[in-house]
Chains A and B, each alone.
Chain A
Amino acid sequence: MTTDSVSTGDDPHRLLADVRDLTGRVRRDQRLTWVALLVLAAVTLVAIPFDWFFLKLDCDDSGCVFARRGMLYYWPPALLLAYAAIAVSYVRAARERGLGARVLPYAITGAVTAVLFTAAYTAAAAYFPSNPPFDGGPMPFWWIVLDRLIAPWGLIGLALLVLSHLERNVPLLVFTLAYLVLVLLVLPTTEGMSAPAWVSGTNAQIRLSMALPQLIVGVVLLAGGIGFARARRSSSPAGGRSA
């Protein structure tokens, strides 16, 4: 151990490099990325039965009309609880390591997204049945992307972007960008995807078509959480600090 200080005439390059190195270490030690992703994965997977059982479905000869009531019942409180749990976990882990936490802006962003989703969903449910967008015709892709963005899975991605910025966490940023591409451009999270042909009955097919994208999103978040947890363990055998 060093027993005396270094002279005041230190090389500016070295001093600045030391500052960058130390701040980088603090940021890595404050991270608990895997916990955030696992909590969000759990919330996403638990949502599936809510969506399944509270899906209001009316079918006749002309087709089916459905309303995903479970989303409104489940997601606002679930998101608030999830972000509160993540914030508490971050603060406790940082405190155990002898540090303060920098998770509050993320938790606030998460709470704001929960409110935003509730407001958007309620407004859409009240307005669009009597005023269908684009006169009930085909919707442009930008509209579909916007719809997916303000759905819970898109909002989770936005909050993760904030977290990656707070933590200066490049691996999380890469993961989040890939996640956002998946939930905004690839997965039909709000429209539902084709159910397998072996599923019989319109009722079951529609419910399954809504469940499948959520299952994929949940598995992706789960895999991300496991990946970050493993990376943390492998990079810091003495206690795991970097992921």
Chain B
Amino acid sequence: MPDGHPVTGLDEVVHQRVRLGILAIAHEARRVEFGYLRTQLDLTAGNLSKHLSVLETAGLIDIEKGYEGKRGRTWITLTRDGTTALAEEIGRLKVLIARVETPAEET
């Protein structure tokens, strides 16, 4: 693999379709509720929880649990590191696409 190839810089935590989706939604929404994420990403509660746990452990999101009336609600917000990680991942994806689409210059 050539030195400086964008793949070498991929973050395994972020370079994953569901987790990237979570970060993208949380970034756009400022804060997002668990149920909204589950619906938009078409996941089971258990599976979404696993991905949220990975992101929280990596320090990319904050999870806040509370109640509205008798209804429990879980809100997810992006941390500063999460915002940076999302921007870097999108930048790397664009570089990857650019390299794939200009094969003649690379080979």
Interface residues of A, Cβ cutoff 8 Å to B: 1-6, 8, 10, 12-16, 18-19, 22-23, 25-27, 29-30, 94, 97-102
Contacts and interface: CB of A to CB of B under 8 A. Distances in A.
Contacts, number: 93
Contact of A99 (B20, B32, B41): B32
Contact of B29 (A8, A12, A14, A30): A30
A100 B30 contact: yes
Given A5-B47, A26-B25, A15 B30 contact: no
Contact of B28 (A1, A13, A18, A23): A23
A23 to B, nearest CB: 4
Given A12-B93, A16-B93, A19-B24, A6 B18 contact: yes
B88 interface: no
B85 interface: no
A10 B47 CA distance: 18
B24 to A, nearest CB: 4
Interface in B14-70: 15-21, 24-25, 27-37, 40-44, 47, 51
20 contacts: A1-B44, A2-B18, A2-B43, A4-B47, A5-B17, A5-B19, A5-B51, A6-B18, A8-B15, A8-B16, A12-B94, A12-B97, A14-B17, A16-B94, A19-B90, A22-B21, A98-B35, A99-B31, A100-B77, A101-B30
Contacts of A94: 29
Q: Tell me what chain B mostly uses at the interface: helix, strand, loop, or mixed.
A: helix
Contact of A22 (B40, B44, B73): B40
A16 B17 contact: no
B28 A27 contact: yes
B105 interface: no
A12 B93 CA distance: 5
Nearest to B6: A12
